[in-house]
Amino acid sequence: MGSAHSVPAEMRELADRTGFTSEQIEHLHRRFKQLSQDQLTIRKENFDSIPDLEFNPIRGKIVHAFFDKRNLRQESDGLADEINFEDFLTIMSYFRPIEMNMDEEQLDRFRKEKLKFLFHMYDSDHDGKITLQEYRNVVEELLSGNPHLEKESARSIADGAMMEAASICVGQMGPDQVYEGITFEDFLKMWQGIDIETKMHVRFLNVDTIAHCY
Amino acid sequence: MALPAALGQRSSESHKNSNQSFAIVSFKWDHVKEPYIIALWILVASLAKIVFHLSHRVTRVVPESALLIVLGLFLGGIVWAADHLASFSLTPTVFFFYLLPPIVLDAGYFMPNRLFFGNLGSILLYAVIGTVWNAATTGLSLYGVYLTGIMGELHSGLLDFLLFGSLIAAVDPVAVLAVFEEVHVNEVLFIIVFGESLLNDAVTVVLYNVFDSFVAIGATNVTGIECLKGIVSFFVVSLGGTLVGIFFAFLLSLVSRFTKHVRIIEPGFVFIISYLSYLTAEMLSLSAILAITFCGICCQKYVKANISEQSSTTVKYTMKMLASGAETIIFMFLGISAVDPNIWTWNTAFILLTLVFISVYRVIGVIIQTWILNRYRTVQLEIIDQVVMSYGGLRGAVAFALVALLEEDKVKDRNLFVSTTIIVVFFTVIFQGLTIKPLVQWLKVKKTEHREPKLNEKLHGRAFDHILSAIEDISGQIGHHYLRDKWSNFDRKYLRKILMRRSAQKSRDQILNVFHELNLKDAISYVAEGERRGSLAFIRSPSTDNMVNVDFSTPLPSTVENSVSYLLREKAGPVCLDMQALEQRRKSIRDTEDTLAHHTLQQYLYKPRQEHKHLYSRHEIMHSEDDKQDKEIFHRTMRKRLESFKSTKLGINHSKKLNKIHKRDRGQKRRNSSVIPNGNIPSENPVQNFALKEKDLEFSESEENNDYETLHLGKGVDFLANVTKQNFTDAPAGIDNPVFSADDDQSIYMKFSPWLSSEDTVVPSQRARVQLPYSPDNFRRLTPIRLSNKSTDSFLLADGPEDRPRSFLPESTHM
């Protein structure tokens, strides 16, 4: 499907589905081919060739997200071994900036989609809940960039954050009640009032920028 | 420099009066006149500020800057009426050398860097193109109108008008700050207007200098080369100023790394070095405002990390005080300066047209530039934002100081320019300042929400940064996030190693900071609550109805971690303080006994040492005395404790007995029974004081016990009990988590002041160990971090706090 994009109709369809302009799609396709070494699909190993990604502390999680079927198609679960260009575009489209002409409903959906992406990244065992253990892993990875920070402090930060989440989402709990993990609804609740749109977008340029890769 | 002169004066005086008798008291007004008047003015301005804020209704409507200008007018009127002499005015020297730097430094040092650099492109466009546009259009239009003859006869040419246009064009940082700080528009809008007002200084300075020299050499001698020189000088002035600022920021950060032993003058470096950056730039005729702004912006991160907490507070408050003081004086003197008939030349057409032109061209400029910008910005600037931006283009003291610098013989219409500038400044500050608040409300401009820092938010924010930079990497684009990512890598790899103390490098992480902040806040609120209650006994009171339970019992590999998680679970209790619940508890505690015990404690707790605190030292603040005392208490406690472990008869007895009691207690807990009998108190307790204390403890303990039982955290309590038991019987092998027990015991003994008793140590009740009323580690967020494996040895903890990140110090223990 990826190579067939040159057919205008297909292109238009892709553009419609992902919201990119045809120029952007073209650029992304060029990048895709560069990454996949002219194959039709990308595998995880292909991401190793991006030098800048190496220093990203949550690199693993991000690359993982590209192959997470929950992000790719609705109603499916598990991990893909390889993704084609359309999938690649789908993932990229999570990071599109909001457009001026969006109405409230669209904005809301847009926002939810973006958050869902993040949620899936945290929820590594696909059970619809970010458990403490998962949260700890994420925080540990996030803070792994700082060599002076010990694992324990990362963990306690995660614990603190979890308690905070619990107090935000549930508020007062009975003594026997136990907060098991952050569900997506809770996750949304935590994000209330923060305009994520300004935080989770990349400006996809129409011009070619240097794309180095080896 | 006034001193030698004064001395000389005095000596000559004494010479003259040598034949007269020695005057016991003499009145020397001239001797102190100048500083005295300055001090008086500052006092008046400050007092006026107090008066303004007596009535909230006034300050809510009228901005302070406007009030100060009016006050200045009033005072100037009085002075004028008194001696018909306008002896006070805002001179450019005073303004540029003493009043402006603190304000700009404050702005730079507390600049939200991320926001600033995130919007740097827009800010630069508005600052550079916008200012040039304003200057050119205003000057040209005025000249055009002048040619029609409406203004009557003036002695100015095109260049004079352009000169005037360039000095009136710039949006003023002082005025913008003063007005916008009260309006609270959203941060993007604020940073754009404010950033523009800061960065346009370079443009203003260059335009002003260029036209000033053009006027001096005469219109006929201006060639293309001169114009080219002007453009080149713009880049030199702006980039040069910025580089000077960055250089001094580097220097300042480096110096602050080595101030460990001169803590007391640490804050001074911040001011002196940044001031030097300002003066240096001024000396090199570069943009001084840019220099000091960038000095503040660049050094803040490293300086804040390097200097001690106290110094940081000092810097913060001193800077705010200086800036606010300077601002007050500026506005008041703007008012006073206006009362001087010598400078007034009225020309209705010129003044009115200036007002019209600066407003209209500001609006047009903003609209055009925003239209361009919005094609590239991801967060669009909407119509409402543009209105506020145009309306927020306030002119202020910079324009006034610049116009006052003009020389009469060069610029013939200087007085007209001065009067017009004053009118423009007054109009923008008073009229626009007055109306901008209602306008913002009426337009429903997005305002800043003041929110508490949230750990989750910070974490997710961090995650986003990484995700976005990764996406940019993957999609092969060099964008904003890409650059920021590269910069932060560079910063981490090189800059921090050079500019930050090693200890600061460790603890410096934004997320950790928020964590620390929240911990502190928690701790403070707990202690404050305790003080309000007159006792800290309540602290360990997880009232059942405000519980937040997180399941921390996820299977973890090692036992230590297990115990940590249990501890957490046990401590997860008091997430928030429910005042009502506390109040209920309070009723059940006998207040009198409580206070009595408190009193006794206070009496015996090392009071005699306190007199050391009154020693005076210029070089050191004696706050360390407390620490020393605490440390000593701690050591004594530990020694005592170790002694008691050595099988003194009593100790063994106790431990056995307590073990028994302890078992019983556990049983009781399980059975959910409530009050524990006072049997815990050793019967051989001879001192009444202690009995009292014990009782007090018992009361609070039994109270807490209730809660614990309802909590029904069987395992957690079990664990705790085990630890304490094992610890008490001194069985090192069994200590799961020595940190915890050590901490516990430390505070127990501190409470019981064991050095007071003789051999027969009063052993605190078992439950006191399990449920410590006075212990910092039940602060929700403090808990986990202090439980890290690394902090196992609490002796070390007390001895070498320098080795550990500040945030983990149990500061709250030493009250």
DSSP string, B286-301: S-HHHHHHHHHHHHHH
Burial class (CB in 10 A: 0-12, 13-18, 19+), B83: exposed
Can you tell me the ipTM of this complex?
A: 0.84
Q: Are residues B276 and B408 in the same domain?
A: yes
User: Hey, is the C-beta of A207 within 8 angstroms of any chain B C-beta?
Assistant: no
Query: Are residues A198 and B454, on separate chains, in Cβ contact within 8 Å?
Result: no
Residues of B in contact with A133 (CB under 8 A): 554
Query: How does strand A182-183 pair with strand A129-130?
Result: antiparallel
Q: Are residues B327 and B469 in the same domain?
A: no
- Those of residues 118-147 in A touching chain B at CB distance below 8 A are 118, 121, 131-133, 138-139, 142-143, 145-146
Residues of B in contact with A118 (CB under 8 A): 460, 463-464, 467
Closest Cβ–Cβ partner in B478, B479, B512 for A149: B512
Query: Are residues B378 and A53, on separate chains, in Cβ contact within 8 Å?
Result: no
| B434 in any annotated domain | yes
Find the residue in A nearest to B479 (Cα).
A203
| A205 in any annotated domain | no
| A214 in any annotated domain | no
- SS3 letters across B396-456: CHHHHHHHHHCCCCCCCCHHHHHHHHHHHHHHHHHHHHHHHHHHHHHHCCCECCCCCCCHH
Closest Cβ–Cβ partner in A161, A178, A191 for B549: A178
A90: CATH: 1.10.238.10
Question: How many angstroms separate the CA atoms of A166 and A181, rounded?
Answer: 8
Measured in Å, how far apart are chain B's first and last C-alpha atoms?
47
| B742 in any annotated domain | no
| A62 in any annotated domain | yes
| pLDDT for the residue numbered B540 | 46
Domain boundary among B394, B410, B443: B443
* Secondary structure element (H or E) that encloses residue B763, with its range: none
Question: How many angstroms separate the CA atoms of B577 and B450, rounded?
Answer: 22
| B731 in any annotated domain | no
Closest Cβ–Cβ partner in A161, A202, A212 for B472: A202
Per the structure, the count of domains in chain A is 2
Burial class (CB in 10 A: 0-12, 13-18, 19+), B657: middle
Min distance A159 CA to chain B CA atoms (Å):
8
Tokens of A49: 């060739």
The dihedral through the CA atoms of B534, B539, B545, B546 has a sign that is positive
Contact in structure between B170 and B144 (CB atoms under 8 Å): no
Question: How many angstroms separate the CA atoms of B197 and B171, rounded?
Answer: 5
Q: Are residues A88 and A112 in the same domain?
A: no
Domain boundary among A67, A94, A121: A94
Question: How many angstroms separate the CA atoms of B400 and B359, rounded?
Answer: 18
Query: Are residues B467 and A118, on separate chains, in Cβ contact within 8 Å?
Result: yes
Contact in structure between B518 and A159 (CB atoms under 8 Å): no
Query: Are residues B463 and A164, on separate chains, in Cβ contact within 8 Å?
Result: no
Q: Angle at the Cα of B642 (from B636 to B645), degrees rounded to 5?
A: 140
Does residue A41 come out as left (phi exceeding 0), alpha (psi in the -120 to 50 range) or beta? beta
Question: How many angstroms separate the CA atoms of B794 and B796, rounded?
Answer: 5
Residues of B in contact with A198 (CB under 8 A): 378-379
Q: Report the SS3 class of residue B179.
A: helix
User: Hey, is the C-beta of B87 within 8 angstroms of any chain A C-beta?
Assistant: no
pTM given for the model: 0.68
Closest Cβ–Cβ partner in A62, A190, A205 for B470: A62
Q: Are residues B437 and B495 in the same domain?
A: no
Contact in structure between A32 and A85 (CB atoms under 8 Å): yes
Q: Are residues B318 and B345 in the same domain?
A: yes
Question: How many angstroms separate the CA atoms of B256 and B504, rounded?
Answer: 12
Q: Are residues B434 and B464 in the same domain?
A: no
| B402 in any annotated domain | yes
Question: How many angstroms separate the CA atoms of B236 and B206, rounded?
Answer: 10
Closest Cβ–Cβ partner in B477, B479, B572 for A163: B572
Contact in structure between B68 and B331 (CB atoms under 8 Å): yes
User: Hey, is the C-beta of B94 within 8 angstroms of any chain A C-beta?
Assistant: no
Query: Are residues A28 and B518, on separate chains, in Cβ contact within 8 Å?
Result: no
B427: CATH: 1.20.1530.20
- Those of residues 667-726 in B touching chain A at CB distance below 8 A are 710-712
Closest Cβ–Cβ partner in A57, A131, A205 for B466: A57
Tokens of B348: 């209705």
Q: Angle at the Cα of B706 (from B705 to B707), degrees rounded to 5?
A: 90
- Burial string for B747-760 (b: 16+ CB within 10 Å, else e) reads bbbbbbbbeebeee
Pick the closest to residue B172 from B474, B465, B400 (CA basis). Answer: B400
Query: Are residues A31 and B475, on separate chains, in Cβ contact within 8 Å?
Result: yes
Q: Are residues A90 and A38 in the same domain?
A: yes
Find the residue in B nearest to A175 (Cα).
B711
Query: Are residues B550 and A175, on separate chains, in Cβ contact within 8 Å?
Result: no
Closest Cβ–Cβ partner in A131, A142, A163 for B462: A142
Question: How many angstroms separate the CA atoms of B803 and B502, rounded?
Answer: 10
| B261 in any annotated domain | yes
Q: Report the SS3 class of residue A79.
A: strand
- Those of residues 513-552 in B touching chain A at CB distance below 8 A are 515, 518, 544-552
Closest Cβ–Cβ partner in A152, A160, A170 for B515: A160
Query: CA separation (Å) from B710 to A171, A172, B577?
Result: 19, 15, 18
Q: How many residues does chain B have?
A: 815
Mean pLDDT score of chain A: 73
Residue with tokens 């929400």: B449
Could you tell me the maximum CA-CA distance found in chain B, to the nearest angstrom?
A: 111
| pLDDT for the residue numbered B291 | 94
Query: Are residues B548 and A201, on separate chains, in Cβ contact within 8 Å?
Result: no
Pick the closest to residue B606 from B641, B638, B632 (CA basis). Answer: B632
| B12 in any annotated domain | no
Mean pLDDT, 10 residues at a time, over chain B (815 residues)?
44 52 84 88 88 82 88 87 73 89 92 87 90 92 87 80 89 86 83 89 84 81 82 89 94 89 88 94 91 92 86 92 91 87 82 91 93 81 87 88 86 86 91 88 77 71 78 73 79 80 66 73 75 56 44 41 37 39 45 51 45 54 54 58 46 42 45 42 42 42 41 40 41 40 40 41 40 40 39 38 40 39
Closest Cβ–Cβ partner in A55, A193, A194 for B489: A55
Residues of A in contact with B580 (CB under 8 A): none
Alpha-carbon B479 to chain mean position:
31
Residues of B in contact with A31 (CB under 8 A): 474-476
- Burial string for B322-354 (b: 16+ CB within 10 Å, else e) reads bbbbbbbbbbbbbbbbbbbeebeeebeebbebb
Q: Are residues A78 and A145 in the same domain?
A: no
Per the structure, the count of domains in chain B is 2
Domain range enclosing B165: 67-443
Query: How does strand A82-84 pair with strand A41-43?
Result: antiparallel
Domain boundary among B514, B533, B558: B514
pLDDT in tens, A170-208: 766 666 666 777 777 877 777 776 666 666 666 665 544
The one-letter amino acid code at B408 reads E
Closest Cβ–Cβ partner in A62, A159, A193 for B784: A159
Q: Are residues B427 and B461 in the same domain?
A: no
| pLDDT for the residue numbered B295 | 94
Radius of gyration of chain A, Cα coordinates, nearest whole angstrom = 19
Question: How many angstroms separate the CA atoms of B756 and B11, rounded?
Answer: 64
User: Hey, is the C-beta of A152 within 8 angstroms of any chain B C-beta?
Assistant: yes
Query: Are residues A52 and B485, on separate chains, in Cβ contact within 8 Å?
Result: yes
Find the residue in A nearest to B449 (Cα).
A193
Question: How many angstroms separate the CA atoms of B805 and B797, rounded?
Answer: 11
Closest Cβ–Cβ partner in B480, B711, B780 for A175: B711
Mean pLDDT of A55-82: 75
Give the model's confidence band at A81: pLDDT under 50 very low, under 70 low, under 90 confident, else very high.
confident
Pick the closest to residue B87 from B400, B405, B416, B340 (CA basis). Answer: B340
Query: Are residues A213 and B505, on separate chains, in Cβ contact within 8 Å?
Result: no
| A202 in any annotated domain | no
User: Strand pairing partners for A79?
Assistant: A68
| A85 in any annotated domain | yes
Burial class (CB in 10 A: 0-12, 13-18, 19+), A190: buried
Q: Are residues B462 and B435 in the same domain?
A: no
Closest Cβ–Cβ partner in A31, A173, A202 for B548: A173
Domain range enclosing A68: 11-94
Find the residue in A nearest to B464 (Cα).
A200
Domain boundary among B490, B514, B538: B514
Q: Are residues B99 and B190 in the same domain?
A: yes
Min distance B113 CA to chain A CA atoms (Å):
16
Question: How many angstroms separate the CA atoms of B455 and B461, rounded?
Answer: 10
Q: Are residues A187 and A125 in the same domain?
A: yes
- Those of residues 555-614 in B touching chain A at CB distance below 8 A are 568, 572, 575-576
Q: How many residues does chain A have?
A: 214
User: Hey, is the C-beta of B387 within 8 angstroms of any chain A C-beta?
Assistant: no
Q: Are residues B483 and B436 in the same domain?
A: no
- Those of residues 460-519 in B touching chain A at CB distance below 8 A are 460-464, 466-482, 485-486, 489, 492, 505-507, 509, 511-512, 515, 518
Min distance B526 CA to chain A CA atoms (Å):
17
Residues of A in contact with B505 (CB under 8 A): 148
Q: Are residues B168 and B229 in the same domain?
A: yes
Q: Are residues B127 and B263 in the same domain?
A: yes
Min distance B125 CA to chain A CA atoms (Å):
20
Q: Are residues B396 and B475 in the same domain?
A: no
| A168 in any annotated domain | yes
Domain boundary among A94, A119, A149: A94
User: Hey, is the C-beta of A148 within 8 angstroms of any chain B C-beta?
Assistant: yes
Q: Are residues A120 and A147 in the same domain?
A: yes
| A206 in any annotated domain | no
Find the residue in B nearest to A28 (Cα).
B475
Q: Are residues A109 and A192 in the same domain?
A: yes
